[in-house]
């Protein structure tokens, strides 16, 4: 079996004269970092292939590589590297990058680099990894290792783990196994290494302004030259292998666990609720028998604006009859409930065609959904007046009185009548109707809870803002 180029006997690396032994290790170091890159990319792609949990309906990610060259002031060649990036169903984004560069340090920088004060020329090769998973239950991670050569030579690097919730039991377990991998790598070379390099990492990643660590830590080392360059190179290789195996094990342990984007209180979207029963009845106003609710709605909008809201969702369907006046009175975007309903129809796979709409008499009379959905390809089927009088309007009153079981019977019949007329789905354009239908078995056709749809639209807005 041919010998790998980075596994040569240390006797061939002794070197002579003023050059450090690392000078003769350049090709081996570069070959190792690129080989580790290939191993990590293969490991991460294998993890993508093995996902059977959340987001497994998406295609497995694959790395895309892009070479780059290092520019120099003189126009001479300065080396370069290859960026390898993957976006997938386990990893939101992971980069595994290698580079080998050379040149001269600037005059103001030379004094801070060992060996550069005598001769500003340098050579450096290394690998850097940053992994950000999709799931908040899978910790993010970072690793880099490198070799630098001036008139001196040394190795450096390390790796660390950043869970979403540092004190969660699963995060404690993951940190223990991750650290065990690094401890084993360190102990193979020097029993003092792990404690020394762990402490260095803990100091490096401590956040003094918050008086807390950035994550679960790992190890960090730099300017390593023990007097045996080959031994230091071997240690650096073992650090890379430990990260490869330990982090992959953590990811595989957690990637199939169910999750939502909000895994703790602090992950939820900041929300301010304005609910004022003194707002005049919107149905009565639409019928011409009640006061105009717009002044009260505008007062509420201005209060939300002062409170720091970035957008407004109005769950009252009938209040959308005054949405133009509300939008004119505030700089805040107001999410439209009909747009949210349309997005939910698309999410459910309902093609353009006939859909039913249930709502209050006022909502149906103002043609909120008929005009809105018609422009997007759906034609609306409405209950006739007899159905409104016998089923829908009494059911809405029952929900308001907390008689949801009775309301269910009437609302389910109303949905069935719309389905018989060809409705592919039924849009529930009233806050009370979804509550009534939730009190019994599911319907034969999909129903769109417009309040849920508006909540999803609000989450999308907050996520993209």
What residues are labeled active site? 142
* Tokens matching residue 447: 């129903």
3-state secondary structure (DSSP) of residue 29: helix
State whether the Cα torsion 274-465-320-384 is positive or negative.
Answer: negative
What's the maximum distance between 2 C-alpha atoms anywhere in the chain? 102
Inter-axis angle of helices 169-187 and 193-204, to 10 degrees? 130
* Tokens matching residue 354: 């006939």
* Tokens matching residue 37: 């890159």
Burial of 440 (0-12, 13-18, 19+ CB in 10 A): middle
Contacts of 464 (CB under 8 A, 6+ apart): none
Q: Taking a C-beta distance cutoff of 8 angstroms, is the pair 128, 115 a contact? A: no
CA 423, CA 445: separation in Å to the nearest integer?
A: 8
State whether the Cα torsion 295-300-306-312 is positive or negative.
Answer: negative
Q: Taking a C-beta distance cutoff of 8 angstroms, is the pair 359, 370 a contact? A: no
Angle at 337 between CA 275 and CA 264, to 5 degrees: 65
Phi, then psi, of 202 in degrees rounded to 5: -60, -40
Return the C-alpha torsion angle 231, 236, 237, 242, nearest 10.
130
């Amino acid at each position: 079996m041919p010998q790998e180029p980075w596994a040569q006997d240390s006797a061939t690396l002794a070197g002579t004269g003023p050059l450090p032994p690392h000078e003769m290790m350049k090709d081996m170091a570069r070959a190792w970092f690129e080989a580790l890159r290939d191993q990590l990319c293969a490991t991460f792609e294998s993890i993508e292939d093995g996902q059977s949990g959340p987001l497994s309906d998406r295609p497995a990610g694959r790395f895309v590589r892009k070479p780059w060259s290092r520019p120099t002031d003189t126009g001479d060649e300065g080396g370069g590297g290859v960026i390898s990036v993957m976006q997938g169903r386990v990893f939101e984004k992971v980069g595994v990058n290698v580079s080998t560069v050379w040149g001269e340090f600037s005059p103001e920088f030379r004094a801070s680099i060992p060996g550069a004060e005598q001769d500003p020329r340098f050579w450096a090769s290394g690998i850097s990894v940053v992994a950000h998973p999709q799931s908040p239950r899978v910790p993010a991670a970072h690793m880099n290792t490198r070799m630098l050569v001036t008139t001196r030579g040394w190795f450096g690097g390390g790796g660390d783990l950043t869970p979403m919730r540092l004190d969660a039991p699963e995060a404690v377990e993951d940190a223990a196994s991750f650290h065990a991998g690094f401890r084993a790598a360190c102990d193979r070379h020097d029993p003092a290494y792990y404690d020394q390099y762990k402490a260095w990492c803990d100091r490096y990643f401590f956040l003094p302004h918050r008086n807390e660590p950035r994550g679960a830590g790992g190890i960090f080392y730099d300017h390593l030259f023990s007097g045996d360059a080959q031994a230091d190179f071997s240690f650096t290789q073992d650090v890379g292998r430990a990260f490869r195996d330990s982090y992959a094990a953590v990811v595989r342990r957690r990637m199939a666990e169910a999750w939502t984007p909000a895994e703790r209180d602090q992950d939820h979207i900041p929300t301010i609720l304005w609910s004022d029963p003194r707002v005049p009845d919107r149905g009565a106003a639409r019928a011409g028998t009640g006061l105009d609710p717009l002044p009260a709605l505008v007062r509420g909008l201005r209060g939300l604006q002062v409170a720091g809201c970035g957008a407004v969702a109005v769950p009252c369907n009938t209040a959308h009859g005054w949405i133009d006046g509300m939008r004119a009175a505030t700089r805040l975007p107001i999410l439209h409930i009909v747009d949210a309903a349309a997005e939910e129809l698309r999410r459910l796979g309902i093609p353009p065609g006939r859909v039913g709409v249930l709502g209050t008499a006022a909502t149906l009379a103002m043609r909120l959904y008929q005009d809105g959905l018609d422009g997007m390809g759906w034609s609306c089927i409405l209950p006739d007046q007899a159905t409104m009088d016998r089923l829908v309007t009494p059911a809405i009153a029952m929900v308001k009185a907390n008689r949801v079981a009775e309301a269910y019977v009437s609302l389910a019949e109303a949905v069935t009548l719309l389905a018989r007329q060809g409705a592919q789905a039924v849009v529930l354009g009233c806050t009370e109707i979804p509550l009534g239908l939730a009190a019994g078995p599911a319907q034969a056709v999909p129903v769109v809870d417009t309040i849920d749809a508006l909540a999803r639209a609000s989450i999308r807005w907050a996520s993209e803002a």
